[in-house]
Structure 1
Amino acid sequence: MPLYEHIFLARQDVTSQQVETMVDTYKDVIQQNGGTVEKTEMWGVKSLAYRIKKNRKAHFTMFNVNAPAQAVAEMERQMRINEDILRFMTIRVDELETEPSVMMQKRDRDERKDRERRERDGDAPAFGGSEGEEA
């Protein structure tokens, strides 16, 4: 079966739980049409380069899909109908990535830098006071 990477953007004002429900719905569509979703990555809310349907931010989600073309076409048809989906893109690939995507690696790297900075600064509290001090 063909392999695809599929990314969709959901409106910023839907909740994370609603995005997870969308993910489950589209996974079911793929599975009902004889395919599988190998990997799902939720990249979180990110700023858009330009406004799309009056939205400045969106929930980004990526699927690695192993499915026939008609399964992907049906998923895309249902995404076109859904008002909460701003954009989507499906790309056929030769092989699926097994490691985390670049977006997830960037998040891990940023979290690591924050952790190292806190350790270097001696775990200073974020609110500006010193530990043990009362207001």
Structure 2
Amino acid sequence: MAFYEHVVISRPDVSPQQVETLVEELTAIVTEKEGTVAKTEYWGLRNLAYPINKSRKGHYSLLNIDAPPAAIHEIERRLRINEDVIRFLTIKVEELSEEPSPVLSRKDRGDKGDRGDRGGDRGERRPRRDREEF
């Protein structure tokens, strides 16, 4: 069997519970075809890079799948029919990663991240240099 990373983007007006139900249906399809879903991640409601069908946001979900190609074809066939799905992408990978995806690890870090010590106080101003010093 092969390893796949599968990302599904659902419409923004569906609830997170409906997205979870969709992921459970996909997991059931994979197990029917003698495959396994190693990991699922819900990335939340995120902005799209460009509007798709007048939607600017979407619910993102990631599935790490170990299954035969027939299972992937069936998943993609059903996602094309589903009206709640905006886009999906399946990528074949060499191995499945057990650690959280970069999207979730960035979310855990916080919005601004660690900027470190920038030196100096905000009220303190640096002396102005004249052009002759360069």
Larger Rg: 2
Aligned to 2:61: 61
The letter of the residue matching 1:89 is L
Aligned to 1:31: 31
1:2-17 equivalent positions in 2, closer than 5 A: 2-17=2-17
Output the TM-score relative to the length of structure 1: 0.81
Q: Any idea what SS the aligned residue of 2:96 has?
A: coil
Q: Any idea what SS the aligned residue of 2:110 has?
A: helix
Structure 2 residues without counterparts, runs of 5 or longer: 114-134
- Report the aligned-residue RMSD: 1.5
Aligned to 2:46: 46
Aligned-pair distance for 1:53? 1.0
Output the TM-score relative to the length of structure 2: 0.82
Structure 1 residues without counterparts, runs of 5 or longer: 114-135
The letter of the residue matching 1:24 is E
CA distance in 2, matches of 1:60, 1:79: 14
Percent same amino acid among aligned pairs? 47
Moved over 2 A (4+): none
Size of the alignment, in residue pairs? 114
Aligned to 2:101: 101
Bigger helix share: 1
CA distance in 2, matches of 1:30, 1:76: 11
